Every structure is written in structure tokens, then in C-alpha cells.
Amino acid sequence: MTESTLTGSPSTETTASTATKSTAAAGSEEINLLTGFKLMLPFARTGWKAFSAAAVLSTISSLAMLGPFWAIYRAVDDVVSGEATRDGLLFYAALTAVFLILQYALAAASEWTSHHGAYATLEQLRLRIGERLGHVPLGFLTSKRSGQIQRVLSDDIERLELFLAHIVPDAVSSFTSMLFLIIWLFVVEWRMALVSLVVVVIALPIMGIGVRIGSGKLSEYTRSMARMNSSIVEFIRAMPIVRTFNGTGRVFGETKAAIDDAAKYEADWGREFLPLFTVFYVLVTSPVLTIIPFGLLFWHLGIIDTSSLLFFFIAGLGFTLPLIRLLHVMTTMAHIGLGARLVRELDEADVLPQARETAFVDGARIEVIDVGFSYENGAGPSRQVLQGITFTAEPGTVTAIVGPSGAGKSTLARLIARFWDVEQGAIRIGGVDIRDMPMVQLMDQVAFVFQETFLFNDSVAANLRLAKPDATDEEVVDAAKAARAHEFISALPQGYETSLCEAGDRLSGGERQRLAIARAVIKQAPIIILDEATAFADPENEVALQEAVDGLAEGRTVIIIAHRLSTVAGADQTIVLDEGRIVEHGRHKELIEQGGLYAQMWEAFSSASQIALTAVQATEPALTGEGVAA
């Protein structure tokens, strides 16, 4: 069953909790050769036919690689024994060339086949993850940075190509060529074969220790590199603010610390791994240390003949070289495994159970009934965010949700849009539990305006048409007017056709918010949720936003999350949250008269506003005086 057909009865278990648990478990697991291989193996199943064919071709190529050894050995043996002829030597030379051509042709065919399978696998993987992200809880996406998901979909998935297209054929080729050559050595002379394997017996434990050390340090090194990259990007992006406040030295000091930290891990890794790798490399490239002296001894004692001695000199000196490639394969697998873990986290992210049948929704009445919700805290105990939340929001009314930071306001708003499933209670729209609605139907009912407004690199009109691509120009203008955005849009260089790539940085926070509200209006959803929509508004924009919100209430159910209490003073009802519970509920005047938390918040807000106004008034005469003097 594909994700698009996933169905199920409403579940009271939040998928966010499960996703967080799996993430925490994955994050605590150290990546080594075995875990890296286990993480990457499932991705090879998609193109298993191509990878199997590549492995077969690589194996045959390894057999062909033995041909030149045999041909050269036969030619040298004929020369030493005095039986060499011109035609015979030319034959062996031609045979060597044929084997080499066959070896490289088969290796190229193996590479082509593995790359073809790898690219097809990566394409299907990206499409599958993209489809899955369309069905995971929206809270799963908002809990992650966009750059993190982008890195997984591009960089980490691309690293899998290294495993699928290169590591698989390299590993098969290295292992089989070494295996076939060792078998051949034993067939020719088992005692000399044992002597030849002495360096392997010594080198393999060293390789194992080196890989274990490298894998153990790799996780720390990768995390330090991620911190360094994040710090550098943040430093560059914040440069205007940093220089304005003369904080370049301090902030760069933090970036330098991250760079030094990454360099330290890299140096520590090198100090522990490189000496072992050096010893390993010397051993596997120096089988001559055992083959030549023991070979000459056995030849002197008559244990082997001249022909066998020549064979070991030719073939035995190179049979350990595949070990170097295997070491590269092993260390690379551990490195790729880190990315594979993140890819699998997205590929196996839990999806929201969705109803298959379209529900009959009677109006836009929102009922929040005894709702409880908690976030998982990694491997620790869950953190309760909301408890026993119950209220009703009627169509044509504005409901404000206020409270101190961390009270659960934004979480409650997101639960109404089903970013997650509630753990306790239910949320109904038009008498229907939102878990009984297909997600498409629910999204048709709800428009969400976030605190951070995302605008696409397109024209103003195209951004407003996001929810309704077929909206007419008249509908676009009407929505902009309803959001009090028409005036400043008309003042842009090309009006509604102005590219936000060029004008986006010149728009104020309040103007961007009004574009977001216009986008919500044009969607014509019966429910609009505004999460801190006035957070970045100056007084002028705040007035315009307030007028826009007042206009939205006509025939719609409006939910507003706000810190600026002045923007919600006219709400039909205000829900006051504190530590995840409703502590007060009523209209502005009623709540002021009660003298509770809302009244305290209003007094603090009014005092802060008065202080700001007094400060502005105090500076105006001085500025005027400077102007006159000038």
C-alpha cells in the first residue's frame, strides 16, 4: 500500500512522539562498518537486479585479471627454461592484452550497470520521500530546519550513490580477485601460499583496529563539521547586524571556536588512525619480505621448482593490493552510513492516518474538547504542553489565544490544523472530528498565517494565487484589499507583477504579513488561524493588520495567537493559557475586571507601550531643534 492510500481509524497516539523517539534512538547509535552496511543495504533492494548484474560482471572481471599473471608467468618460465620462441612470446603478449581489455571492459560494464541502478534508485528514493513528506504530520516538518531536510534530500542521498555505484563493485572486485588469487597460490604450492599470507594475517587485525578507531571518531568529527558549517553560515547571514552592533570580534570568536573544534577532532582522528594505516599500507605492499627469502629457501631445498618460484614472484607480490581497496571501502561505508541514517529517518517517518471518505462538514464551528498533548523529549520523559483544553469558536467570530511564552498557544493552534494528532480528547470542525477528514478536505477548511512569512521567488500575484491558482485578477485584488495590502502592492515597480526576489527585502515585516493574510483570504477557507501575525508590525502596519483581521471575521471562524494584546482587545472571546491550561476565558472587558493573569498582562503591555511613546515624544523636540539649527 502506498502512502497516498493509507487509511485508518482515528488514533489517539501522536505520531510526533513516535517520530521523535525513533530520531533519538537513531541519533544515539554509533555508526561503524556493520551498522553502516545494515543502514545502506535496504536502499540496494530497489535496483537489486542491476546491482546483482554489476556484481557478476565485477567477479568475471576479477577472473580476467588473473589472465595477465598467468600469461606473463608462462612467458618468463619459457625464457628461463630456454624454450621461448618469438611466436610464443608474441602469443603471450597478445593474450595479456586480450585479458587486460576483457578485464577493463567488464569492469566498465560493471560500473555502468551499477551507476544505472544507483541513479534509478536515488530517483525513486527522492520521489518516495517527497511523497511521504506530503503525509507526515506537519509538526514533523516544522520541528526540523529546512536546510536539514534539503541536505538529506540532496547531499545525504547523493552519498548513497557512492555506496551503490562504487563501493558495491569495488568491494566485490577486491574480495573476489584476492580470493581467486589465494586459491591459485594454494593450488600451485600450499607452503609458499601460507608464507605469502603471513602479511595478511598481520595486516587484517591492524586494519580492523584502524577501521574501529576511524568509525568511532567519525561521528564526533561529522557533528563538529556540521556545527562549524552552521556557525559559518550564521555568521555570514548575520553580518549586517553583527557589524551594526560592533560585535564582529565576539561573534567571529564563536565561529572560530567551532572551526577550531572541527580541526581538533580531525587532528585527533589523524593521530590515532594514520599510524595504523601507515603500518597496514607498508605490510600489504611488502609481501616481498616473506615471499623472496622463503621462496629462495624452498627452491634451494628443492621443495619448489624454478617455475613455481617465478609464479610466486609475479603473482604473489600483488595479491595483497586489493586489501587497500577494501580498507577504503570499509571506512567509506561508515562515513556514508551517517547520511544513510538520516535518509532512513525521512523515508520511514510516520504518516498521519487519513480517512478515505469525504466527511460532511456542517459549517465552520470549532470544538476543542478536553484536549491534551505532549512532546517527546528525546529518550527522556514526555513534556506535557496542553491539558484539558476545552472551548468553542463560532463562525463569524474572532477567538484570541493569549498567554505567557511557553504556555502552549502555538501548539494549540497547530493542533486545530492537525500538525499532530491530539493524545487526549478531540477537535471537531463542523461537528466532524478532524481525524475523520481526509487531509485535503481539512486543508480546504483551514488557512494558516504563520509568524514567519514565506514568499516564493515569483511575482506578488503568483504568491497570492498559491492556494487558488485559477484565481482571477479581480479576486487577487479583492483579497489584497481585504488584507489592506493593495495600496503598497500598487506602489511596487510592476505592481502585482513585481518579482518578490527583487522587492522581497524591501518589504517590511508587516507588509509581508499582509501578503500572507491576502493569500489566506484568496483561499476562501471558512477558518483562518493567525499565529503571531502582528509580531513584526510597526504601529502603522499594526493598524492595517487589525483592520484586515476585523474584515476576516465576516462569515469566517478566526483564531488569533498574539503577544500584542492591543490587536486582540476587540476579539469576541479570549482564551488565556498558562502552563498548558485555560486559566481565564471571556471578553477583554470581563477579563480586565477579573484582575487575573490577563489583567496583569494588559497592565504590563500598556506600561511598555506608554514608556515607548514617552521616549519617542522626548526625542522629537531635540530632533526638531537640530533641524532648525542646521
Cell triple for 522 = 484568496
Beta partners for residue 498, in sequence order: none
Q: Shortest CA distance to 360 belongs to which of 283, 289, 445?
A: 445
Residue 126 pLDDT greater than 60, yes or no: yes
Least confident of 84-93, 307-316, 323-332, 599-608: 323-332
Residue 622 pLDDT greater than 60, yes or no: no
Phi then psi dihedrals of residue 374, to 5 deg: -145, 155
User: How many helices and strands, by DSSP H and E, does the chain display?
Assistant: 25, 10
* pLDDT bracket for residue 344 (50, 70, 90): confident
**What's the pLDDT score for residue 142?**
60
**Distance of alpha carbon 360 from its chain centroid, rounded?**
37
What DSSP assignment string belongs to 62-74? HHHHHHHHHHHHH
Of 89 and 246, the one with more pLDDT: 89
Enter the CATH code of domain 366-609.
3.40.50.300
* pLDDT bracket for residue 13 (50, 70, 90): very low
Sort residue 177 into left (φ over 0), alpha (ψ -120 to 50) or beta: alpha
Reported as a single tens digit per residue, the pLDDT across 388-441 is 999 999 998 899 999 888 888 988 998 998 888 888 999 999 999 999 988 888
Mean pLDDT of 345-372: 82
> Would you say 50 and 120 are in contact if contact means Cβ atoms under 8 Å apart?
yes
Q: What is the C-alpha separation between 3 and 526, in angstroms, rounded?
A: 28
> Would you say 412 and 577 are in contact if contact means Cβ atoms under 8 Å apart?
yes
Q: What is the C-alpha separation between 577 and 403, in angstroms, rounded?
A: 5
**What's the pLDDT score for residue 25?**
39
Produce one character per residue of 13-40: b if its CB has 16 or more CB atoms within 10 Å, e if not.
ebbbbebbebbeeeeeeebbbebbbebb
What amino acid occupies position 8? G
Q: What is the C-alpha separation between 224 and 316, in angstroms, rounded?
A: 43
Q: Shortest CA distance to 2 belongs to which of 112, 130, 103, 178?
A: 130
Residue 3 pLDDT greater than 60, yes or no: no
Residue 534 pLDDT greater than 90, yes or no: no
Mean pLDDT of 258-285: 79
Residue 378 contacts by C-beta under 8 Å, 6 or more apart in sequence? 20, 24
Q: Angle of helix 15-28 relative to helix 322-347, nearest 10 degrees?
A: 160
* CA distances (Å), origin 429, targets 347, 416, 626: 31, 9, 59
> Would you say 409 and 532 are in contact if contact means Cβ atoms under 8 Å apart?
no
Q: What is the C-alpha separation between 413 and 396, in angstroms, rounded?
A: 18
Q: In a 3-state reduction of DSSP, which class is residue 385?
A: strand
> Would you say 473 and 465 are in contact if contact means Cβ atoms under 8 Å apart?
no
Residue 564 pLDDT greater than 90, yes or no: no
> Would you say 204 and 267 are in contact if contact means Cβ atoms under 8 Å apart?
no
CB-CB neighbours of 415 under 10 Å: 25
Least confident of 296-300, 361-365, 439-443, 507-511: 507-511
Residue 575 pLDDT greater than 90, yes or no: yes
Q: What is the C-alpha separation between 149 and 486, in angstroms, rounded?
A: 35
Reported as a single tens digit per residue, the pLDDT across 51-68 is 889 888 988 888 888 888
* CA distances (Å), origin 528, targets 143, 185, 472, 540: 22, 78, 21, 23
Reported as a single tens digit per residue, the pLDDT across 289-335 is 788 899 899 999 988 888 888 888 877 766 777 777 777 777 677 66
Sheet holding 398-402, edge to edge: 446-449, 527-531, 557-561, 398-402, 573-578, 581-586
Domain ranges of the chain: 31-188+329-351, 190-303, 366-609
Q: Shortest CA distance to 343 belongs to which of 41, 10, 98?
A: 41
Beta partners for residue 429, in sequence order: 366, 432
CATH top class, domain 31-188+329-351: mainly alpha
* pLDDT bracket for residue 243 (50, 70, 90): low
Residue 362 pLDDT greater than 70, yes or no: yes
Mean pLDDT of 374-396: 78
Mean pLDDT of 36-40: 67
Phi then psi dihedrals of residue 40, to 5 deg: -90, -25
Per the listing, cell 501522536 goes with: 14
Of 344 and 578, the one with more pLDDT: 578
**What's the pLDDT score for residue 421?**
87
**What's the pLDDT score for residue 379?**
44
* CA distances (Å), origin 71, targets 90, 93, 265, 300, 460: 11, 7, 49, 25, 73
